[in-house]
């Protein structure tokens, strides 16, 4: 009887471990989506985009269209465009920020949705703007910095910004913040994303090797590339990345695991 119990526990162990990893991945994403830091929420939204139109994650993504931060909402629109969620994109056409409305209009137009064409016509006619005014943007940037971590502020000071996050003090602070927050693209990271679409052994091997790269952007792109392969056997690659020191890597690893493990579950269901 004891041996049978041990055998049963051993048989259930992989399923228990998988359930635990799934819960960890889901909690990682949800915690980031609820963060007070808008950059964290933005990273989480971009990670949700990796999951495509899967339930329940698509509904969670749609709920973020009401986020108070404009860059977060722009990230939501980009993710909704990827999943071709026309309904949610139409909702974004009524956003208070012109940038969000314009992004939604372009996405809908690309999907041949009449609402997108009508919105673009209004813009062409001068009835709608494509970006916020200078004062509104400066105020938005300043208020946003109140919710970002203090270390980022110290980096700005060390770089010689010499400003405090108060509206209307000039463009220097705002521009520097943008440079620090978005240090530019990486050609190696872009290559990792492209390789993920190939899903051949050589490309996958290169992506897996890049998971140990010292550049966090490359690691994040590599795990996202692995997610895009839609190869359920690679879900295991995401598990150790859930403990990566970089937030963006952890969030993309969570999305990668959820995406690939769900494919595996679907295949198992077919087999059964």
What pLDDT shows up at residue 16?
47
133 assigned to some structural domain: no
pTM over 0.75: no
Closest of 236, 240, 195, 191 to residue 215, by C-alpha? 191
Instruction: Pick left, alpha or beta for residue 52 (phi over 0 → left; psi -120 to 50 → alpha; otherwise beta).
Output: left
DSSP conformation letters of 83-119: TT-HHHHHHHTT-SSHHHHHHHHHHHHHTT-HHHHHH
Q: Is residue 19 part of a domain?
A: no
| Residue 194 domain-assigned (yes or no) | yes
> Is residue 119, in this structure, part of any structural domain at all?
yes
In a domain, 257, yes or no: yes
Cα gap 65→76, rounded to integer Å? 6
272 residues of the chain, pLDDT tens digit each:
555 545 544 454 454 455 688 999 999 999 999 999 999 999 999 998 888 778 888 999 999 999 999 999 999 999 999 889 999 999 999 998 888 998 999 999 989 999 989 888 887 777 666 555 544 555 555 555 444 554 444 444 344 333 333 333 333 333 333 333 444 445 677 777 777 767 778 888 888 998 999 888 889 988 988 998 889 999 999 999 999 999 999 999 999 999 999 885 544 555 55
User: Are residue 217 and residue 263 in the same domain, yes or no?
Assistant: yes
Give me the pLDDT at residue 155, please. 41
- In this structure, what CATH number is given to the domain that contains residue 236? 1.25.10.10
What pLDDT score was predicted for residue 166?
A: 36
pLDDT given at position 136: 53
- What integer pLDDT is reported at residue 41 of this predicted model? 93
Q: Looking at residue 182, what is its pLDDT?
A: 42
Q: Are residues 31 and 113 in the same domain?
A: yes
Per residue, the 3-state secondary structure of 195-211, as one string, reads HHCCCCHHHHHHHHHHC
Tell me, yes or no, whether 63 and 96 share the same domain: yes
Clarify whether residues 205 and 152 are in a common domain. Answer: no
Structural domain span for residue 254: 187-271
Q: DSSP class of residue 214? A: S
Instruction: Mark whether 39 and 59 lie in a shared domain.
Output: yes
In a domain, 203, yes or no: yes
Q: Give the C-alpha separation, 45 to 251, whole Å.
A: 9
For residues 160 and 240, state if they share a domain: no
User: Does one domain contain both 36 and 96?
Assistant: yes
Give the domain-ending residue among 132, 160, 181. Answer: 181
Same domain, 207 and 250: yes
Question: What is the 8-class DSSP label of residue 42?
Answer: H
Is residue 14 included in any domain, yes or no? Answer: no
pLDDT, residue 130, reads 59
216 within some domain: yes
pLDDT at 11: 52
Same domain for 120 and 34: yes
Domain total of the chain? 3
């Amino acid at each position: 009887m004891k041996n049978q119990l041990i055998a049963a526990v051993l048989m259930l162990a992989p399923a228990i471990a998988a359930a635990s990893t799934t819960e960890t991945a889901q909690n990682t994403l949800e915690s980031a989506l609820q963060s007070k830091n808008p950059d964290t929420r933005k990273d989480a939204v971009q990670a949700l985009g990796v999951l495509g139109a899967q339930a329940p994650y698509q509904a969670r993504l749609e709920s973020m269209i009401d986020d108070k931060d404009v860059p977060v909402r722009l990230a939501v629109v980009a993710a909704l465009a990827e999943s071709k969620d026309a309904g949610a994109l139409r909702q974004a056409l009524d956003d208070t920020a012109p940038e969000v409305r314009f992004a939604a209009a372009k996405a809908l137009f690309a999907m041949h949705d009449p609402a997108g064409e009508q919105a673009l016509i209004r813009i062409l006619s001068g009835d709608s703007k494509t970006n916020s005014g200078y004062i509104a943007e400066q105020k938005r940037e300043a208020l946003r910095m109140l919710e970002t971590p203090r270390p980022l502020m110290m980096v700005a000071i060390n770089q010689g910004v010499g400003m405090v996050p108060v509206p209307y003090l000039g463009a220097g602070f705002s521009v520097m913040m943008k440079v620090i927050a978005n240090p530019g693209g990486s050609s190696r990271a872009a290559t990792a994303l492209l390789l993920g679409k190939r899903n051949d052994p050589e490309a996958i091997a290169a992506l897996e090797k890049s998971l140990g790269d010292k550049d966090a952007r490359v690691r994040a792109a590599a795990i996202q590339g692995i997610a895009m392969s839609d190869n359920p056997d690679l879900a295991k690659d995401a598990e150790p990345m859930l403990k990566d020191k970089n937030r963006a890597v952890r969030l993309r690893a969570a999305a990668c695991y959820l995406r690939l493990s769900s494919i595996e579950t679907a295949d198992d269901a077919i087999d059964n």
